[in-house]
Structure 1
């Protein structure tokens, strides 16, 4: 228990820079006297921690202090390397230098058990890395960007945004930004962002405690309970999307019972299966898919 708190104090000071004894006592729910005893233990273990007197003083670590590798377990070291390797997949080659240094520091040469590549099939990986780095630079430097964006309706629009965060969710990268056109926060899928321009206009960070809920867009979607049937040959795509718990196999077919967003993505997803999916319910969804398939067929018949 004590050892765990000591490590947490070290991590807290590394993150915050410094803290008062009272702040640490409230953070870890112990007395100020206990915190001072903990600081003595940390110092006695060779960690360069010291106190600065005065109104702006506090407890802090020596500048540029880093944890020794002996304080990390092998699993933690592998997790660190895995995280950096994931970042290397979307950033420039300089990340490989960092990885090489950490492999040497951790004495772990064998990291070839995994390969991370988040670029899309058929895409230009170098182009995607360049765009990602422009967006990362905009977020870090708080610089306004301009780009063309293709919405789910296929219509392109010009956007001016204040980018706040890059998010990886459900096999895709998104940009979380304040859109000056819509005057609201928006989630932009990176694959639909084109012609990015990094401007010289600076903006302020979001004030503390006012960041909006990132799950807002999921809550705004109207969900629908669907029952779908797929032939066995579609199993690979079915399991790419659905969890095993919502899939039932019987007589060579797969039945999926799931709650999904009732939007354009759902229609496009179902139509992408062609004749390899049957919508069993709801009836309204089945009718809508039928109508769209007939429209697509008519389009091809008119353009023979």
Structure 2
């Protein structure tokens, strides 16, 4: 544990420059007294580590000193190679850079860790998108990523789900997110209109835009200053929670055959079940909307009977009558 902490101190100073004992203690989640003892251990080991007193003081490494990666554990080395995702890196134009970085990392590892990392790479492959998800065409991803990195404004024509579908936006792009194989940019709209086209007196709050829905794009020379308090990971977590809270806004009371109940048991849908004498199950299912529930229950065919809400039952009955009429006329015509 201590050896890992000593290596962490070296890497923090190597990457972050001068740091105080209090800053190191906060990063490592230990006491300042523990940091002092660790600094003494590093001194005793001959590490060129210096401390400066005063308000602007702190610990620093001798200029040019670099630690090697020999302090990596086997699990850490394996995790580093497993974290390289070639697909998204290539989409961002970083495929060659990722390959070069992995080559340098591999060369820096001791022989035994190199063998374990190679074995990890040959036995595990990450393919994030689902089986039935089509590959999104994201021709503007490199430009969006560059604008995010250099804090440049974007003018886009964007296609959304509601009318008017095609809208123009001037965006401050704060960050990129890759979710289930799909790229999103988190950005704030400018020029007095938010992402829904509603007038606003000031810049809009950040919203999420699918990059594959950008129809046209131009990068401005104008730069912007991202809000100091904006946290991309925190925003995305809140966005996900809000999305799931809005996803299922109603309920449907249904009867399910044993086969349908078994199918639903293998999904993430929470089912409140009540067995009935004929072997069917009365259940209460969350539904996103009447349209969505109509499509989903039709897919179950005769293995489901919707009891409520009445409007959903009526829509399904109307659809079934239309299907019976269509296929009945086909059969009689043959």
TM-score, with structure 1 as normaliser = 0.69
Q: How far apart are 1:203 and its partner, in Å? A: 0.4
Aligned twin of 2:103: 100
TM-score, with structure 2 as normaliser = 0.64
In 2, distance between residues paired with 1:66 and 1:273? 62
Q: What is the DSSP-based 3-state SS (H/G/I as helix, E as strand, rest coil) of the residue aligned with 2:140?
A: helix
Q: Does 2:246 correspond to 1:243? A: no
Aligned twin of 1:275: 299
In 2, distance between residues paired with 1:37 and 1:270? 67
Residue-by-residue CA offset, 1:125-183 (whole Å, 9 max, x unaligned):
xx53x532222211111111122222232612112111111123355332111122312
Give 1:39-54 correspondences, 5 Å limit: 39-45=39-45, 47-54=47-54
Q: Does 2:160 correspond to 1:151? A: yes
Q: Does 2:68 correspond to 1:68? A: yes
Q: How far apart are 1:84 and its partner, in Å? A: 1.8
Kindly tell me the number of residue pairs found equivalent between the two proteins.
Answer: 287
In 2, distance between residues paired with 1:231 and 1:149? 45
In 1, distance between residues paired with 2:67 and 2:283? 49
User: For the Cα contact (< 8 Å) 1:246–1:256, is it kept in 2?
Assistant: yes
Q: Does 2:193 correspond to 1:188? A: no
In 2, distance between residues paired with 1:166 and 1:195? 18
In 1, distance between residues paired with 2:46 and 2:285? 55
Aligned twin of 2:147: 138
Runs of 5+ in structure 1 lacking a partner? 298-304
User: For the Cα contact (< 8 Å) 2:157–2:166, is it kept in 1?
Assistant: yes
Q: How far apart are 1:36 and its partner, in Å? A: 2.5
In 2, distance between residues paired with 1:216 and 1:134? 24
Q: What is the DSSP-based 3-state SS (H/G/I as helix, E as strand, rest coil) of the residue aligned with 1:147?
A: strand
Q: What is the DSSP-based 3-state SS (H/G/I as helix, E as strand, rest coil) of the residue aligned with 1:24?
A: helix
Runs of 5+ in structure 2 lacking a partner? 195-203, 324-334
In 1, distance between residues paired with 2:214 and 2:13? 39
> Root-mean-square deviation (CA), in Å?
4.6
Q: Does 2:81 correspond to 1:81? A: yes
Q: How far apart are 1:227 and its partner, in Å? A: 6.6
Q: What is the DSSP-based 3-state SS (H/G/I as helix, E as strand, rest coil) of the residue aligned with 2:70?
A: helix
Aligned twin of 1:286: 312
Residue-by-residue CA offset, 1:17-53 (whole Å, 9 max, x unaligned):
332124335664524x543221121344455533244
User: For the Cα contact (< 8 Å) 2:156–2:218, is it kept in 1?
Assistant: yes
In 1, distance between residues paired with 2:314 and 2:104? 56
User: For the Cα contact (< 8 Å) 1:148–1:157, is it kept in 2?
Assistant: yes
Instruction: Please identify the structure whose Cα radius of gyration is greater.
Output: 2
User: For the Cα contact (< 8 Å) 2:252–2:309, is it kept in 1?
Assistant: no
